[in-house]
Amino acid sequence: MNAPRPVHAPMAQFPVIDDCLQVGGIPLTRLAQRVGRTPFYAYDRGLITQRVALLRKHLPAEIHLHYAIKANPMPAVVQHLAPLIDGLDVASAGEMRVALDTGIAPGLVSFAGPGKTDAELAQAVAAGIIVNLESEHEMERIAALGAGSGTRPRVAVRVNPDFELKSSGMKMSGGPKQFGVDAERVPAMLARIGQLGLDFQGFHIFSGSQNLRADAICEAQRKTIELALQLAEHAPAPVRSLNIGGGFGIPYFPGEQALDIGAVGAQLAPLLPRLKQRLPQVQVVVELGRFLVGEAGLYVCRVIDRKISRGHVFLVTDGGLHHHLAASGNFGQVIRKNYPVVVGNKVAGRERERASVVGPLCTPLDLLADNMEMAKADVGDLIVVFQSGAYGLSASPTAFLGHPAAAEVLV
């Protein structure tokens, strides 16, 4: 007997009425008319708000929540989130502009990323945001910029810890990495920050992304706090900010289940009193991207052709990997798996079948769903890819093959 086929976690965040998905209370078919064209991304602002509330409910009250803009830089989304969260994390001067356009206080914006240019550093210094230093060279360059402009740049040190976040979709620490400064070199760097007269704010320790296991996240948080306490002994000024990263994942693929955020909060709370005692001025920050916006977004495209090739059904759509690289399996996946995909205007459908959803590009990589069980779809029907609110449009090769851009709406 075969083991049961793993299934996708239920996508219950979008209600279904008369077999049609509803986004922000609007039937998907009507939303498509309102947008005026397909393909498009739709983000549900109510779901984003709920997500922040969920985190506030389960994480200790003193934790500050930051949004990592790279997950979804659509200005309307960032504007919506800005008053709900405690800070914004940017990874380019472009993202910095989007962050500052919200009216947020510059001291609540931090800028991480290897390879910041002098022009970007100068913009950050002028804005008064916190720069997470990724190397000794970057530290010297920002100090020179500060001296040249008569300002005292606000800096934090991004640390490459000597551990990694286990079972992460993307590891960003441990061993040799392009991110941050190796933990063992940080004490010497802190002494130099003091000599240079930089305005030292604290540490940024980000160990991984897309993790669905509360115990793995908590283990990394415990080690992060331990490391910060050791490094703090060398700090040139009181540690005011400790960004312990995030890594909270969302279920994308069959067999995956939602992260138990209650367990994360319950295990984080007891770590804080000792930290506060040793570093009384410290503000602990958790920075999240996909967990805040990923489940609130859909990618919607329309069936242009329905083809049967040697018994296999292909739904050819006007959307594809040029708008949604991640759903095609080409954004960091080792083995291609299907995102949750449904026919948005026939969710259950009268008839069901197995089909592959492909895009218009002349490459076999342009695959949005591979041999998936779904409602039987016809030309004109709307195909929906769930879990598309993060790393969607902005993480896709939109110029590839020169098809029209996707629209984006916040509903």
Q: Which residues bind ligand PLP (CB under 6 A)?
A: 68, 70-71, 89, 112, 206, 209-210, 246, 287-291, 390
* CB of 347 vs ligand PLP, minimal distance in Å: 27
Q: Which is nearer to ligand PLP, 15 or 114 (CB)?
A: 114
* CB of 284 vs ligand PLP, minimal distance in Å: 15
Judged by DSSP in three states, 389 sits in: coil
d(CA 59, CA 264): 7
Q: Which is nearer to ligand PLP, 95 or 366 (CB)?
A: 95
Q: Which is nearer to ligand PLP, 87 or 146 (CB)?
A: 87
Structure tokens at 179: 């991110």
Please spell the DSSP secondary structure of 209-221, one letter per residue: E-B--HHHHHHHH
Q: Which is nearer to ligand PLP, 14 or 67 (CB)?
A: 67
Q: Which is nearer to ligand PLP, 201 or 210 (CB)?
A: 210
Residues 6+ apart with CB under 8 A from 20: 27, 28, 29, 344, 345, 346, 347
Cβ-closest residue to ligand PLP?
Answer: 289
Judged by DSSP in three states, 404 sits in: coil
Q: Which is nearer to ligand PLP, 89 or 164 (CB)?
A: 89
The residue among 374, 286, 390, 371 whose CA lies nearest residue 332 is 390
Q: Which is nearer to ligand PLP, 71 or 321 (CB)?
A: 71
* CB of 291 vs ligand PLP, minimal distance in Å: 6
| Phi, psi torsion values for 388, nearest 5 degrees | -115, 15
Q: Do the beta carbons of residue 22 and residue 28 sit within 8 Å?
A: yes
* CB of 80 vs ligand PLP, minimal distance in Å: 17
Q: Which is nearer to ligand PLP, 71 or 196 (CB)?
A: 71
Q: Which is nearer to ligand PLP, 179 or 200 (CB)?
A: 179
Please spell the DSSP secondary structure of 82-95, one letter per residue: GGGSSEEEESSHHH
Q: Which is nearer to ligand PLP, 68 or 228 (CB)?
A: 68
* CB of 408 vs ligand PLP, minimal distance in Å: 18
Residue 52, CA distances (Å) to 43, 88, 292 in order: 15, 14, 7
Q: Which is nearer to ligand PLP, 9 or 374 (CB)?
A: 9
| Phi, psi torsion values for 145, nearest 5 degrees | -65, -40
In sequence order, what are the beta bridge partners of 67? 88, 288
Enumerate the H helices of 283-331 as residue ranges. 290-293
Residues 6+ apart with CB under 8 A from 372: 338, 341, 354, 355, 356, 357
* CB of 90 vs ligand PLP, minimal distance in Å: 10
Cis check for the bond before 39: say yes or no (omega within 30 of 0).
Answer: yes
Q: Do the beta carbons of residue 79 and residue 102 sit within 8 Å?
A: yes
* CB of 225 vs ligand PLP, minimal distance in Å: 17
* DSSP 8-state class, residue 13: T
* CB of 206 vs ligand PLP, minimal distance in Å: 4
Write down the residue that tokens 């969920």 correspond to.
Answer: 54
* CB of 165 vs ligand PLP, minimal distance in Å: 10
d(CA 109, CA 97): 11
| Phi, psi torsion values for 342, nearest 5 degrees | -135, 165
CB burial of residue 54 (10 Å; 0-12, 13-18, 19+): middle
* CB of 147 vs ligand PLP, minimal distance in Å: 28
Structure tokens at 154: 């606000």
* CB of 172 vs ligand PLP, minimal distance in Å: 6
